Chain A
Amino acid sequence: KQEVTQIPAALSVPEGENLVLNCSFTDSAIYNLQWFRQDPGKGLTSLLLIQSSQREQTSGRLNASLDKSSGRSTLYIAASQPGDSATYLCAVRKVTDKLIFGTGTRLQVFP
C-alpha cells in the first residue's frame, strides 16, 4: 500500500528565505507526482506535475525534483513571500490509479 509522508508538518520562516519541502513515498512504481497548494477554506491549486521519467519541473520561484528510485520529491521555494503561506501537498499516482496524498506541510512566511 502506497504511503506518502511529508516533512516538516509545519514551517514558519521570515520573508526572503529559500525553502525545501520534502515528500517521500513507499512504492516507487509511480506514474507521476504532483505538488499542490491549499489555501485556508479553499480547494487545491496544482503547482507542478512531474512525470516518472522526469527529474524536475520548474515554475517561477518553484522547483520540484523527483528521485523515483529512492521514493523522494522535494519542492524548493526561492525567496519566499508572505503570499506563499499555505499548506503544500504532494500526491503520487500509478497509471490507472487515483492520487494518494501526503498529509501536507503548513507553511507560514512572515514579513
Chain B
Amino acid sequence: GAGVSQSPSNKVTEKGKDVELRCDPISGHTALYWYRQSLGQGLEFLIYFQGNSAPDKSGLPSDRFSAERTGGSVSTLTIQRTQQEDSAVYLCASSLAHPGTQYFGPGTRLLVL
C-alpha cells in the first residue's frame, strides 16, 4: 500500500517568505508527527497530532511555525517569515496509534536563501 507522502520534495525560498509543507499520512493512521533534520543537529521533534486531541506543539521552535491537520488526515506545516536557519529537511511520519511504529515520508528539503 501507499506510504507517507510529502510535497514538495524540494523547496527553495527567499528569506522572509512564507512556506507550506504538506504531508499525506498512511490511510487509517491516527497519529501524525513532524520532525526537522538540520545539518549537524540531528532529528528533532516539532509537533504531533493524535486523533481529535489537541496537538502536542512542544517542539515548535518559534511562533513562526504552525501546523494543522484537516479531517484527521492531511497535515500542513507552515513556516512564516522564513529565516536561513529554517533550512533543513522536514520529515513527516504517521503511526496506526500513539505510541506505535512510526513510518516516515521522504521529507521536504527546504532551503532559505
Contact = CB atoms under 8 A, between A and B. Distances in A.
Interface of A: 31-32, 34, 36, 42-46, 49, 89, 91, 93, 95-96, 98-104
Given A89-B43, A101-B43, A103-B42, A43 B106 contact: yes
A40 to B, nearest CB: 11
A90 to B, nearest CB: 11
B65 interface: no
7 contacts: A43-B4, A43-B91, A43-B106, A46-B104, A98-B59, A99-B35, A101-B42
Contacts of B59: 98
A interface, over-half SS: strand
Contacts of B104: 36, 43-46
Contacts of A31: 99
Q: How large is the interface on B (under 10, 10 to 19, 20 to 34, 35 or more residues)?
A: 20 to 34
A94 to B, nearest CB: 8
Interface in B1-38: 4, 33, 35
| Residue picked from B33, B42, B56, B58, most chain A C-beta under 10 Å | B42
A102 B42 contact: yes
Given A42-B107, A46-B104, A91-B43, 9 more contacts: A36-B104, A43-B106, A44-B91, A44-B93, A98-B56, A98-B58, A99-B102, A101-B43, A102-B42
